[in-house]
Amino acid sequence: MASSNWRQTSGLRTWVASFGGSAWTSSHNCSMCFAGTCQWSGLGHHCRGKSSCSQPSNAEGTTVSLALQDCGKSVVATGYPCRKCWHWTLSMLDHDRCGSISGSFGALLERFYSIEPLDRSKIGRSRGISRDGRIRMLEHIDGQPEMWRAIAHHPLNSLFSSQSWTEAVARTYGFKISVSMKGIQNDGKADGAILYCQLSDLRGERIVCGPFSDYCDPLVSDVGTWRELVAPLISLGFPITLRCLSNELPAIDKRFVKVSEAAWHGVDLARPELEIWDSFLAAARQNIRKARRSGVKVRASQELQDLHVFYEMHCHVRKSRYRLLPQPFAFFENLHASFAGNDQLTILLAEVDGSPVAASVFLECRGTLYYKFNASLERSLCPNDLLIWEGIRIGQRRGLKLLDFGASDLDQPGLLRFKRKFATVERRIFRLQFEPEGYLDRRASAVNKTLSSLTYWLTDPSVPDPITQAVGAELYGVFC
């Protein structure tokens, strides 16, 4: 891929094509080499806005702030905030820029892309969403109701691209959710959108579309829109991870490689209750009857204290059965805040003589009931089968069309057998990854090994549960 070239010459401030890259014209000489026609490419040239540029000036003749110089970014004025320090940034050329467009995409910038400037009084938020059909890269979309309404209509929209789920994840882990979106039309609907997070932590720089989600399909319906929307993400120069259930367009993009897959199961709820019951495998019906004979009672709740009862079982199961750290309870609190008020979160507790033996958390979104979390201390009484049946009955009474069982790893045959007893459809979730040519970040492999060792030792039975939970709360965000 050709590198971007920033050319300082006399003339207007415009982007022009330059050997497959891009060029910037300015009326100011380079502050490092003082050449009136300085032209370069690549990140190593000191003229590219590094902190050693002692007197950088922008195309409007103003001086870069000392704070921005310390951040080591920005020499050319564009009016976009710096991703790192959030001072008003002066360059689109560095990969840390909000909305960087470089490389082979630079020549397309003026024609196709217009990165939305952010309001100085609301750093991290867009002033608005254009209706002219151009691509917008919007930073920090919290509190952007117009954006959420614009994508709500899309047929591929799901729980994992909903405002309630996305903002709960963002609040818990401190993620900044962004979107690459094609402009909103007169009917208030966007032509397409890709939700993503740009992460920078112990495991390096990366872009994740739908962090901590079973899947998060790009909301695009044709190849052209997909290529337009993913181009700005690719231009940032970091690995990109997608998990797709229904959208096949990323999978046929040769730049993305399938790195793994998981199973997905669903149950058609748009049928009479007796028909649903008869469609279960015999083992499921037998287990439901056994649970009832054994005195298992199911209680529905939306109370935070009952969510905590589930969480204690959840932590125990993850630690003792799978040797995994638990999510922080703050995540479940945020889900409760986002969904319970709208009657879209239901906790089903299976109890024997008033004591909980299993629990499931269901979330509702766009006519679908999501079987999102489950934990059980006692499996011989088959409480989980009864929880599924009662969840299905609740979904049907509410007029929902589908029960979404979520993702199941293919190396968990017991979980696959359990869901297949009820499911009417089985599909695959594909995990796809783009990696820039020649990209190497040694942090990822080194830190992954360390995190694996820490997880193993901190989930040892001898470690007190509160310690394991506290570590999970601190570290879980880096597992994304």
User: Angle at CA 152, nearest 5°, toward 150 and 156?
Assistant: 120
Question: Tokens in use for 237?
Answer: 């120069």
Pairwise CA distance, residues 359 & 38, whole Å: 66
User: Collapsing DSSP states into helix, strand and coil, what is residue 27?
Assistant: coil
Pairwise CA distance, residues 58 & 71, whole Å: 16
Which residue is associated with the tokens 């995990």? 431
Pairwise CA distance, residues 417 & 27, whole Å: 68
Per-10-residue mean pLDDT of the chain, 480 residues long, equals 33 27 34 37 33 32 38 36 36 34 34 32 37 55 78 95 96 93 83 94 93 98 95 94 98 97 98 98 98 98 98 96 96 98 97 97 98 96 98 97 98 97 98 93 82 95 95 94
pLDDT at 142: 61
pLDDT at 134: 55
End-to-end CA distance of the chain: give it in Å, rounded: 28
Which residue is associated with the tokens 């994992």? 160
Residue type, 103: G
Q: Which of 73, 72, 75 is nearest to 58 (CA)?
A: 75
CA dist list (Å): 226 to 61, 244, 478: 38, 13, 28
Question: Tokens in use for 245?
Answer: 């259930």
Which residue is associated with the tokens 């009917």? 187
Which residue is associated with the tokens 């790195």? 259
No. of H helices and E strands in the chain?
13, 16
Question: Tokens in use for 408?
Answer: 């199941």
Q: Which of 99, 102, 13, 90 is nearest to 58 (CA)?
A: 90
Pairwise CA distance, residues 415 & 393, whole Å: 21
Pairwise CA distance, residues 353 & 431, whole Å: 43
pLDDT at 441: 81
Residue 401 · residue 375 · CB < 8 Å? no
Q: Tell me the Ramachandran region of residue 126: left when phi exceeds 0, alpha when psi lies from -120 to 50, beta otherwise.
A: beta
- CB burial of 305-332 (b: ≥16 within 10 Å; e: otherwise) equals ebbebbbbbbbbbbbeeeebbbbbbebb
Please list, in sequence order, all residues whose beta carbon lies within 8 angstroms of the beta carbon of residue 257, skipping any fewer than 6 positions away.
432, 433, 434, 435
CA dist list (Å): 231 to 38, 223, 453: 28, 12, 37
Which residue is associated with the tokens 């009864």? 386
Q: Tell me the Ramachandran region of residue 354: left when phi exceeds 0, alpha when psi lies from -120 to 50, beta otherwise.
A: left
Pairwise CA distance, residues 316 & 469, whole Å: 10
Residue 124 · residue 176 · CB < 8 Å? yes
Predicted structure pTM score = 0.75
Pairwise CA distance, residues 72 & 84, whole Å: 10
